[in-house]
Structure 1
Amino acid sequence: MKKSLLILPLLLSGCTTYQHLIDEIHTDTLNYQCDEKPLTVDINQQRQSASFVLDNKLLHLQQGLSASGARYTDGIYVFWSKGDKATVYRRDTVVLHNCQLVSNKD
């Protein structure tokens, strides 16, 4: 019984590691140059979410409805992109203007 209790945390940590790897496979990191500053956004297609740091806070936004392009929101912040352009809003006020996708150099 004690051995099985010792193995359980290892199995659970393996599940966590596996899920982390799956998340990485389904996540695209996009780099934008906005008028105000650079912005790095992680888009997870499987979870339909976008994450980025703004105002020293890590934001996690869920995909919402959009007539065109892709829109992610948490009810306060909105990340909206179409093609290679993006905009970030806070409570209907634009906080990052003219964000242009920057090609990643590998």
Structure 2
Amino acid sequence: MKKSLLLFPLILSGCTTYQHLIDAIHTDTFHYQCDEKPLTVEINQQKQSASFVLDNTVLHLQQGLSASGARYTDGIYVFWSKGDKATVYRRDTVVLHNCQLVGNKD
């Protein structure tokens, strides 16, 4: 019984490692050069989410409705991309303009 209790945390950590591996497989990294600064965005197709750092804060946005392109939002921020261009909004105000995809996705 004691051995099984000791193995339980190892089994749980294995599940966590497995989930990180699955997330990494389904995540693409895109590098943009915006007028203001560079922007790196991670898109997880399986979770339909986008993550990036803005103003020293990690933002996690969920995919939303879009007539064209891809749109991700958390209700405050919006990351919208179409083709090799992207824009970031905060409460309907553009905060990152003219973002151009640099190179290929990782």
Tell me if both proteins adopt one fold, taking TM over 0.5 as the criterion: yes
Aligned to 1:73: 73
Query: Structure 1, residues 67-87: CA drift from partner, whole Å, max 9, x if none?
Result: 000000000000000000000
Give 1:105 deviation, angstroms: 9.1
Specify every segment of 5 or more residues in structure 2 that has no aligned partner in the other structure, as ranges: none
After superposition, what is the alpha-carbon deviation per residue over 1:20-79, rounded to whole angstroms, capped at 9, x for unaligned?
A: 000000000000000000000000000000000001100000000000000000000000
State the AA in 2 paired with 1:24: A
Instruction: Identify if the C-alpha distance between structure 1 residues 39 and 14 changes in structure 2 by more than 3 Å, giving closer, same or farther.
Output: same
Task: Name the % identity.
Answer: 90
Q: Secondary structure at the match of 1:98?
A: strand
Aligned residue in 2 for 1:14: 14
Are positions 1:92 and 2:86 aligned together? no
Q: State the SS of the aligned residue for 2:5.
A: helix
Q: State TM-score, norm by structure 2.
A: 0.97
Alignment of 1:9-88 (within 5 A): 9-88=9-88
Is this contact kept in 1: 2:81–2:87, CA < 8 A? yes
**4+ aligned runs moved over 4 Å, structure 1:** none
Unaligned runs of 5+ in 1: none
Cα root mean square deviation, aligned? 1.3
- Aligned equivalents of 1:104, 1:91: Cα separation in 2: 30
CA distance in 1, matches of 2:105, 2:47: 26
Aligned length in residues: 106
In structure 1, C-alpha distance between the alignment counterparts of 2:16 and 2:5, rounded to whole Å: 18
Corresponding position of 1:102: 102
Change (3 A) 1:105 1:57: closer
Q: State the one-letter code of the partner of 1:59.
A: L
